[in-house]
Amino acid sequence: MNKKTLYLEINKHENQIEISLRSPGSIIWKYSHINLNENKDVSIDIDQKCNKLINAINRYSTSNKKQDSLNEIKALGNTLCDIMISNDIKQKLIDTNATYLILFLDDNLVHIPWELICIGDELLCEKFRIGRVVKTRQEFVQFDASEREIPFNTWIIADPTNDLQCSRNEGNAILGYTDEINIQKEKYVMKCDLDNNVTPEDFKEKIRNYDMIHYSGHSYYDSENSENSGWRLTSDNLKAHEVRKMSGTKMPLFIFSNACQSARSDKWHENIDSEQISFGLANSFILAGVRHYIGSAWDIIDKPGSVFATEFYRHLLWGESVGDAMFFARKNLMEPENYDIAWASYVLYGDPRYQYFKNDEVINKPSKHKSQIIVGPVQPTRSDTNKNIPGTNYKCDFPEIRKWITLIFVFIAFLIVFYNYKENVKQNEAHQIKQMLIENMNESKKRLDKYIHELTKYGPIKTSKCLNISILINTQCDNLTKEQIIQGLIELCINENTKFTPLLETTDGLIKVLQQIILQGPPVKFQLPKMMVMFDYYESYTKNKSLLLFRLIDVKNGLRTIKDNIFIEIDNNKLILKQKDILCNGIVQKLNDYSVVGKVINVNNKLVTIDIGECNGLKLTKKIKDNNIEQKFKVLGKNITLKPISIRENTCDATMYGDTKDITKGLEVELIFQ
């Protein structure tokens, strides 16, 4: 590791606490100590300061006093620092340029919020990428130190109690990041299963199938009997003592328990029987052999908890260490626009320097050409048509007649089997052609995504303010002229029947533009359209049919999300121009679901000015199936309709219909067909 690391060791020997700070490789170092016998009030004072910190965090979790919370946490962190940390260690922590701080903790001291100790004007978790390593008297299983190969099998358990919408969104967001990194690296680095219906029995059966587990839901901490602490799953609770019993078998390397008090713990060693009991979820998972455990020491609110988790995975999947990902996720929640006290709750057990996903895992995979895919028949399944054939039990005294009857039925059975065989072959060929088109489309999108992603190193990729849509030809097809005709028809349909303004391009042409922009470097003025339509074409799909695949891609903040795959058959015996409706209807219907919302920016009697113009999709009339349909505006929440009469690039003037007395500036309107 190039980044510097410090070790802060805190041990307890009977009534004395020893604290030392050292660098890796040190052969001698100084420690300071706190004698609890000489000053019995110190132990009480430490517990009081810890309780004040916990109470402050819980109090501010539902408060809007952002700066007050940070100031109070730092003030309490300073007082705890004055009690626990000697002046020379404090000064070394202030002066160091180290990146990582690893806490070597005695199991009697894990209940102290070391991450929130304040040195100078910075909390330890604010200055360092920080992780905990615990020295314990309890029996434990050493985690699997061998490197597991990618892809990592990951289990996302999101909202198993069905009452935390943000937890469900969190699971989907993590899946989205996983899909994006898999595309960028052009191979699976992480395979995810997303579940929201998981019982304790399901968890016990499946846990060993996964390398990583992300839990987003409810948990609870039983201060009277910590063994009964646990997760609230679908039908019952998964308790800490049940997790402890899983020791001795293959366990996940990484667990993120994004739930209230999921990392809370009292002292791990308080009585003679403590070697066999559990002190909460964090204790149980670590003792069972988990390499890294992340959880919340206190209560957290649903939404900021989800923000923290998604930001963590965004950095982890892109090759940051576990500690770096925690650090940046914490910093994100400390930014003024995102601020929430949840940043103070998260604790990492394990080495913060470890990387699960390496930056050198990128491989370049060539695009698959159509000619590389061979479409052919598969072996048909056995048919039941030769069973119970009428007449097989017919008895005849004449052997010759019986022989001919048997031959006739055998011939009929053969025809039936042959017909079914041909149908199976056709269906299989059709399926393979569709899969081939999807694969080719996936490869084209990966190529395009690769160069768009490279542009992000110069800053975020912006989308056009205007309602544009790119129609991209996949130039791998042999019959480009036919595709250009289809592209022109789709352009005409979109221009006449939707709010979008079409732009004609090819995938390879767009990639060349992106390559030139990347070579030129910043500043980047390139903007992506609001939507993309990629299409591919397979001629002679059947004897008289050709098959087209249209893929709609929604572009938001530079992300390219596949909205739909639309398959269309066209007749080879008819002119393409006469099949315009067949080509267009599916795409037009999907694009018309796209909502365009604006605001009233001025009202003058019955003349209303709206911030939607030609750039945003407004056109005076549209033709759908030869019927003239006017575009109008519906005022949201009001019984008011507005008709555009004068269009500019970004605004328009409209007249009012309906109850007009309460229309005011600032009201939202939606562009509709009527």
Which of 341, 323, 356 shows the shortest CA–CA distance to 128? 323
Q: Region 463-486: what's the mean pLDDT?
A: 73
Under DSSP, is residue 669 helix (H, G, I), strand (E, B) or coil? strand
pLDDT of residue 154 exceeding 90, the answer is yes
Under DSSP, is residue 553 helix (H, G, I), strand (E, B) or coil? strand
Q: b/e map of 140-150 (b: 16 or more CB within 10 Å)?
A: bbebeeeeeeb
| pLDDT class of 400 with cuts at 50, 70, 90 | low
pLDDT of residue 523 exceeding 70, the answer is yes
Retrieve residue 557's tokens: 């903040």
Fold match flag (152-359 vs 597-673): no
Q: Are strands 118-119 and 668-673 parallel, antiparallel or unpaired?
A: unpaired
> For residues 214 and 58, which has the higher predicted lDDT (pLDDT)?
214
| pLDDT class of 119 with cuts at 50, 70, 90 | very high
Between 12-16, 66-70, 96-100, 255-259, the lowest mean confidence (pLDDT) is in: 66-70
| pLDDT class of 385 with cuts at 50, 70, 90 | very low
Query: What would the CATH number be for the domain defined by 152-359?
Result: 3.40.50.1460
Under DSSP, is residue 321 helix (H, G, I), strand (E, B) or coil? coil
pLDDT of residue 172 exceeding 60, the answer is yes
| pLDDT class of 389 with cuts at 50, 70, 90 | very low
pLDDT of residue 584 exceeding 80, the answer is yes
Between 27-36, 55-64, 183-192, 320-329, the lowest mean confidence (pLDDT) is in: 55-64
Q: Region 91-109: what's the mean pLDDT?
A: 92
pLDDT given at position 327: 97
pLDDT given at position 477: 42
Under DSSP, is residue 643 helix (H, G, I), strand (E, B) or coil? strand
Under DSSP, is residue 552 helix (H, G, I), strand (E, B) or coil? strand
Which of 293, 356, 373 shows the shortest CA–CA distance to 321? 356
pLDDT given at position 292: 95
Query: What is residue 478's DSSP assignment?
Result: S
Q: Which residue bears the tokens 């679908």?
A: 234
Under DSSP, is residue 101 helix (H, G, I), strand (E, B) or coil? strand
The pTM is what?
0.55
> For residues 362 and 503, which has the higher predicted lDDT (pLDDT)?
503
Residue partners of 602: CB distance under 8 A and separation at least 6: 608, 609, 665
pLDDT given at position 521: 83
The phi, psi pair for 149, rounded to 5°, reads -80, 150
Give me the amino acid identity at 432.
Answer: Q
User: Across 211-215, 420-424, 449-453, which has the greatest mean pLDDT?
Assistant: 211-215
User: Across 131-145, 180-194, 304-318, 501-515, which has the greatest mean pLDDT?
Assistant: 304-318
pLDDT given at position 392: 33
pLDDT of residue 646 exceeding 80, the answer is yes
pLDDT of residue 372 exceeding 50, the answer is no
pLDDT of residue 273 exceeding 70, the answer is no
Q: Region 324-332: what's the mean pLDDT?
A: 95
| pLDDT class of 267 with cuts at 50, 70, 90 | low
Q: Region 75-93: what's the mean pLDDT?
A: 91
Q: Which helix (H) or strand (E) holds 562?
A: strand 559-571
Distances (CA, A) of 42 to 169, 267, 597: 45, 17, 62
pLDDT given at position 231: 93
pLDDT of residue 558 exceeding 70, the answer is no
Q: Whole-angstrom Cα distance, residue 389 to residue 502?
A: 60
Q: What percent of the chain has pLDDT over 90?
A: 26
Domain residues of the chain, as ranges?
5-135, 152-359, 433-591, 597-673
Between 76-80, 108-112, 414-418, 507-511, the lowest mean confidence (pLDDT) is in: 414-418
Mean residue pLDDT of the chain comes to 80
pLDDT given at position 625: 41
CB 667 within 8 A of CB 600: yes
Distances (CA, A) of 383 to 376, 377, 431, 649: 20, 16, 21, 65
DSSP collapsed to 3 states, 22-68: ECCCCCCCCEEEEECCCCHHHHHHHHHHHHHHHHHHHHHCCCCCHHH
Between 348-352, 385-389, 640-644, the lowest mean confidence (pLDDT) is in: 385-389
pLDDT given at position 664: 87
Between 257-261, 285-289, 324-328, 495-499, the lowest mean confidence (pLDDT) is in: 495-499
Query: What would the CATH number be for the domain defined by 433-591?
Result: 3.40.50
Q: Region 393-398: what's the mean pLDDT?
A: 37
532: burial class by Cβ within 10 Å (0-12, 13-18, 19+)?
A: buried
Query: What would the CATH number be for the domain defined by 597-673?
Result: 2.40.10.170
pLDDT given at position 7: 95
Q: Report the 10 Å Cβ neighbour count for 52.
A: 15
Query: How does pLDDT run across 591-605, given as a tens digit for each residue?
Result: 888 889 999 999 888
Q: Whole-angstrom Cα distance, residue 308 to residue 334?
A: 10
Q: Whole-angstrom Cα distance, residue 592 to residue 524?
A: 31
CB 320 within 8 A of CB 280: no
- The most distant pair of C-alpha atoms in the chain lies apart, rounded to whole Å, by 119
Residue partners of 288: CB distance under 8 A and separation at least 6: 140, 141, 243, 244, 246, 247, 251
Under DSSP, is residue 108 helix (H, G, I), strand (E, B) or coil? coil
Q: Whole-angstrom Cα distance, residue 235 to residue 601?
A: 52
| pLDDT class of 434 with cuts at 50, 70, 90 | confident
| pLDDT class of 384 with cuts at 50, 70, 90 | very low
Helix residue ranges, H only, 147-263: 165-185, 200-206, 240-244
Q: Region 548-552: what's the mean pLDDT?
A: 87
Q: Whole-angstrom Cα distance, residue 158 to residue 169?
A: 8
Residue partners of 664: CB distance under 8 A and separation at least 6: 600, 603
Q: How far apart are the first and last CA of the chain?
A: 64
pLDDT of residue 397 exceeding 60, the answer is no
Retrieve residue 106's tokens: 């005695």
**CA atoms in the 13 A half-sphere facing the CB of 130:** 21
Under DSSP, is residue 280 helix (H, G, I), strand (E, B) or coil? coil
| pLDDT class of 390 with cuts at 50, 70, 90 | very low
Query: How does pLDDT run across 5-51, given as a tens digit for each residue?
Result: 999 999 887 778 899 999 888 888 878 878 766 665 666 678 788 88
pLDDT of residue 580 exceeding 50, the answer is yes
Q: Which residue bears the tokens 């079914």?
A: 420
